[in-house]
């Protein structure tokens, strides 16, 4: 007798999503989380509880990042969540200061994806953060890199270059460039571009500002340069991205528009 046709979709529909959650507790270096569209935690792994300073996952339910982290850091995390929810696109390999005490020298790599219901509507965001380990640098150097990453996130729209960041870190430009690339896998300039474009995506979805105004808001004073950078990272122009998201959000069932 031949087995019935295999359907991955049917299998996943039957599987309880919660079955995956305990797996993350078996990976001590991974913080797994799920939040609803209001930013409230609905799932949190053991390391996530450690980051938030709570004893159990239940202690975080209904709370937001503002309940656990400094306001400026929580605002950054929540802006990322809004971007994923509004754009429907993931954030991949975002490097940022660890969600620990202010001044922590640790860095984490964070990935976030939209969570959809059975109808395709976005109902939250899920993700995981993993500590950046095995940096072959002195603790003082790691702290300086973490401060530079934080500077990029907090002041992404400002006009500064690698030399500015190196000076603030107390390193020569060549030292800083080499250590940043070795530790984080990209140049400071490339990382700054990513952060700017991520914010631009959010503004394109959440505001009615013109593309030119958003470009300036994100630190680009040349419209052509902004468009080129956007296409390089997103594979489409800012205008096409905005139209696609508007069509998706206006689709009758909440499903992304086809085409």
* pLDDT the model gives residue 134: 47
Select, from the ranges 122-136, 187-201, 219-233, 243-257, the one with the highest average predicted confidence (pLDDT). 219-233
The range of the structural domain enclosing residue 188 comes to 139-234
- Point out the domain boundary residue: 77, 112, 131: 131
59 plus 120 within the same structural domain: yes
**Residue 212: inside a domain, yes or no?**
yes
Q: What integer pLDDT is reported at residue 226 of this predicted model?
A: 95
pLDDT, position 100:
62
Q: Is 113 helix (H, G, I), strand (E, B) or coil?
A: strand
Q: Is position 114 within any domain?
A: yes
Q: Is the pLDDT of residue 1 over 60?
A: no
Q: At residue 236, does pLDDT exceed 70?
A: yes
Question: Does this model's pTM top 0.75?
Answer: no
pLDDT over threshold 60, residue 101: no
Count of domains forming the chain: 2
pLDDT digits (tens, 9 = 90+) for 11-70: 666 666 666 667 777 777 788 999 999 999 999 988 889 889 899 989 999 999 999 988
| Cα–Cα dist 145/122, whole Å | 35
Assess whether 28 and 126 both reside in one domain.
yes
Domain end position, chosen among 131, 160, 176: 131
pLDDT range class, residue 240, cuts 50, 70, 90: very high
Q: Which ranges of the chain does DSSP label H, i.e. alpha helix?
A: 8-14, 21-25, 46-52, 71-87, 139-154, 162-169, 173-184, 188-206, 211-217, 223-234, 238-249
121 and 49 within one domain: yes
């Amino acid at each position: 007798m031949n087995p019935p046709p295999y359907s991955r979709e049917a299998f996943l529909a039957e599987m309880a999503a919660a079955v995956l959650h305990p797996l993350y507790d078996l990976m001590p270096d991974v913080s797994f989380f799920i939040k609803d569209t209001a930013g409230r935690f609905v799932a949190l792994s053991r390391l996530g509880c450690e980051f938030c300073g709570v004893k159990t996952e239940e202690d975080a339910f209904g709370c937001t990042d503002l309940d656990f982290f400094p306001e400026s850091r929580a605002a950054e995390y929540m802006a990322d969540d809004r971007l994923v929810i509004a754009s429907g696109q993931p954030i991949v390999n975002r490097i940022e200061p660890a969600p620990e005490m202010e001044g922590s020298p640790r860095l984490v790599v964070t990935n976030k994806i939209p969570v959809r219901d059975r109808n395709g509507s976005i109902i939250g965001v899920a993700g995981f953060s993993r500590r950046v380990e095995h940096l072959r640098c002195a603790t003082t150097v790691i702290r300086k890199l973490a401060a530079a990453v934080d500077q990029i996130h907090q002041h992404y729209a400002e006009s500064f270059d690698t030399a500015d960041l190196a000076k603030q870190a107390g390193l020569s430009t060549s030292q800083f460039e080499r250590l940043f690339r070795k530790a984080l896998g990209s140049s400071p300039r490339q990382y700054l571009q990513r952060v700017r474009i991520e914010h631009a995506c959010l503004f394109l979805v959440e505001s009615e500002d013109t593309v030119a105004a958003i470009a300036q808001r994100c630190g680009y004073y040349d419209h052509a340069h902004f468009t080129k950078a956007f296409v390089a990272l997103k594979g489409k122009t800012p205008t096409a991205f905005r139209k696609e998201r508007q069509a998706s959000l206006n689709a009758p069932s909440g499903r992304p528009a086809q085409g």
